Amino acid sequence: MIKAIADIDFDKLLEGETISREAVTYIKDQVYSSKENREKLDAKIESLKLDIKKEHDSVKVKDLILILGICEWIVGKVKEASELLKEVKSRKTGAYYLGKCYQELGDYNQALECFERAKKTDMEEFDIHMDIAETKRMSGDIEDALKIIKGFLQAHGNSAELHCQWGCCLDELGEYQEAFKHYEQALQIDPNYAKALFRMAFNYDMNGEDEKALEYYERCINLSPNHKNAFINLGILHEDRGNYDEAAYCFEMVLDAEPTNARALLFLKDAKASISMYYDEEISKKQGKESEVLNIPISDFELSVRSKNCLEKMNIRTLKDLTKITEAELLSFKNFGETSLNEIKAILAQKGLRLGQALESDTESELFSAKMTMEEEGDAIEDISELNLSARCRNVLSKAGIERVEDLLKMTDVELSQKGVKENYLDEIKENLSKFGLSLRTGDNSEAEMERNATE
């Protein structure tokens, strides 16, 4: 058994077709158990890429591509992994993990094809059959999924995975009580079965039984540190209960292992905003006035009968509703033409608004930000804390000796990188600066220098 990720020799991980799914699962758990382990695997991924470029033996190249594809899948780079694994899909292991990629990407037909290819040499591989059943369920073919599951009842009736998959199928059919029984049976067989714990937690969550949901989510993440959905759901639950620090921690745990996870980034931003939220009377008054404008009924304006009828059919009642729809969506509606569109745009312009604006904004007050010039906004911020950066990003800047916005604006990408600011934090800094019409200083050939630094 592999003791720790530091002891894993990736060059010897594959010998022919002997790489085991158990070993890959163990590696994945290790990678998601700490930031240090993730960084070690990231470094190995870069090393594998270089090895592939240097290797001239076609068989060894395929071996390295297979390992690299699996590693990319482990760290959540599913699209990149799938492109690599397509090159080795003739191998049983390659086909299996390509199937896992397709399943995550929602291409269920391709996933099923890969899983079928993976099990051709061993028709008794129970776990692959469960992958097939799961994929069929996810594609909506519940009947076939249940048929596969029940077909293994006699031989694998004491399997936690079988009962968990059975419960998931029953959930899809709306038979929640029966599903619950199968999750409980799975946990009787294996009290530490993370999939069943997650499903129990999710069902309690949906039923509004917060305390039970918290208990099962906590048990799930303690046993399966790579279960990002458990962390995200737990974070949302904490946020709903006003526990913003705990919520932020959950989302940060996901981002430690998968820095580009869109859901975790979005939820972390909301949690951080809630933590730093403060009451300001003037802001409160301003937001009250803005809310009044957004809630003005469309009926208060003089519009053509056609425009009014179209908006009514689209269930658009207020100015706020108009800020949540785009020009293209309006024009796609039957009988809604350019004339009606121009009428709507003129009304919104009177109030300093435009179509689709709410889709670009996080709060109602941002809908009115166009009234403040970029220069005014830039002058209004001095301290780094006003940029609404994540706690981790602020800590990195503080360690680099950067406490004020004016100091930050004097820096280039390369200079910040040399001070230990990683790429994901650079992106966060630039995104937040852009909201105030600000940007980092542009240095000569900065992009080229960044690329060189990244490969050194």
Neighbours of 341 (CB within 10 A): 15
**Would you place residue 111 in the very low, low, confident or very high pLDDT band (cuts 50, 70, 90)?**
very high
Structural domain tally of the chain?
Answer: 2
Q: Which residue has the tokens 């972390």?
A: 268
**In-domain check, residue 309:** yes
In this structure, are 381 and 350 located in the same domain? no
Of residues 71 and 438, which shows the higher confidence score? 71
- Give pLDDT, residue 85: 96
- The single-letter code of the amino acid at 336 is F
Q: Average model confidence (pLDDT) for the chain?
A: 80
pLDDT surpasses 80 at 435 = no
Is residue 294 situated within a structural domain? yes
CATH of residue 354? 1.10.150.20
Phi, psi dihedral angles at 441 (to 5 degrees): -65, 140
For residues 423, 428, 431, 437, the Cα torsion angle rounded to the nearest 10 degrees is: -100
User: Quick check: 335 and 306 in contact, CB under 8 A?
Assistant: yes
d(CA 244, CA 360): 24
Q: With bands split at pLDDT 50, 70 and 90, how would you rate the model's confidence at 254?
A: confident
> Helices marked H in 303-337 — which ranges?
305-313, 319-322, 327-331
Domain assignment of residue 102, yes or no: no
For residue 12, the 8-state DSSP code is G
Share of the chain above pLDDT 70, in %: 82
* 123 vs 220: CA distance, rounded Å: 31
Would 344 be classed as within a structural domain?
A: yes
Residue-by-residue DSSP string for 400-451: TT--BHHHHHT--HHHHHHTT--HHHHHHHHHHHHTTT--PPPPTTHHHHHH
17-24: long-range contacts, CB 8 A cutoff, minimum separation 24: 17/91, 17/92, 17/93, 19/66, 19/67, 19/70, 19/93, 21/96, 21/127, 24/70, 24/74, 24/97
Which range of 234-238, 269-273, 333-337, 447-451 scores highest in mean pLDDT? It is 234-238
Q: Of the candidates 344, 371, 398, which is a domain's last residue?
A: 371
Say if residues 10 and 71 touch (Cβ distance below 8 Å): yes
End of a domain among 323, 347, 371?
A: 371
What is the model's pLDDT at position 227?
83
pLDDT (tens digit, 9 = 90+) per residue, 397-406? 877 888 888 8
Q: How far apart are CA 434 and CA 331, in angstroms?
A: 31
Residues 353 and 393 in one domain: no
Tell whether the torsion through CA atoms of 16, 20, 24 and 27 is positive or negative.
negative
Structural domain for 430, as ranges: 374-455
Q: Look at residue 396 in the predicted model and tell me its pLDDT.
A: 74
How far apart CA 110 and CA 297 sit, in angstroms, is 49
Q: Do residue 445 and residue 383 come from a single domain? A: yes
Are 380 and 451 contained in the same domain?
yes
Q: Say if 334 falls within a structural domain.
A: yes
Last residue of a domain, one of 343, 371, 399: 371
**How many Cβ atoms are within 10 Å of 422's Cβ, its own excluded?**
14
Give per-residue pLDDT as tens, 215-247.
Answer: 999 999 888 777 888 999 999 999 888 888 999
| Cα 46 from Cα 93, distance rounded (Å) | 22
Residues 312 and 385 in one domain: no
Residue 247 forms part of a structural domain: no
Residue 409 has pLDDT above 50, yes or no: yes
Where residue 451 falls among pLDDT bands split at 50, 70, 90? very low
DSSP label of 5: G
Does residue 215 fall inside a structural domain?
no
Q: Are residues 382 and 363 in the same domain?
A: no
Place of tokens 């970029």: 374
Q: Which alpha helices (H) appear in 140-175, and where do they start and end? A: 142-151, 153-156, 160-172
Residue 51 identity (one-letter amino acid): D
* pTM as predicted: 0.57
